[in-house]
A = this chain, B = another copy of it.
Amino acid sequence: MNDQEAMAAFAALSNVTRLKLLKALVRAGPAGLNAGALADAVSATPSRTSFHLAAMAETGMITSTRQARQIIYAVDFARMGEIVTYLMSDCCADAPALLECCAGGAASR
């Protein structure tokens, strides 16, 4: 994960529709959801949903696989991990004050 990839990932996270899509996909887990269901979940038109899903897939954050007539999207958790890691180490140089939030923070709440 280089700076450019990371920036693209952050850009993907800075839009309401895309953030909602990610949350819906996280909730769905590895099984994923099809485009139509996602459009419903985030109350967006098919075209708008497709546009944003394509943007997210471009960053590697999510994957897409065709299943008959539908296209199933799912979170790539490994890739999401890379993004968090980038933010912690590459970007913030493993600042001690930041590592705390991880040690006792996210995991335990």
**Interface residues, chain A, with chain B CB atoms under 8 Å away:** 3, 6-8, 10-11, 13-16, 19, 22-23, 26-27, 75, 77-78, 80-85, 87-89, 91-95, 97-103, 105-107, 109
CB pair A23 B102 closer than 8 Å: no
Could you say which of B14, B85, B101 contacts A7, with CB atoms under 8 Å apart?
B14
**Mostly helix, strand, loop or mixed at chain A's interface?**
helix
Please report the C-alpha to C-alpha distance between residue A20 and residue B102 in the assembled complex, in whole angstroms.
Answer: 23
Please report the C-alpha to C-alpha distance between residue A102 and residue B3 in the assembled complex, in whole angstroms.
Answer: 19
Q: List 26 A-B contacts (CB under 8 A).
A: A3-B16, A7-B14, A8-B14, A13-B91, A14-B14, A22-B91, A26-B93, A75-B95, A77-B97, A78-B97, A80-B95, A80-B97, A81-B97, A81-B100, A84-B84, A84-B87, A84-B101, A84-B105, A85-B101, A88-B106, A89-B106, A89-B109, A94-B106, A99-B106, A102-B106, A102-B107
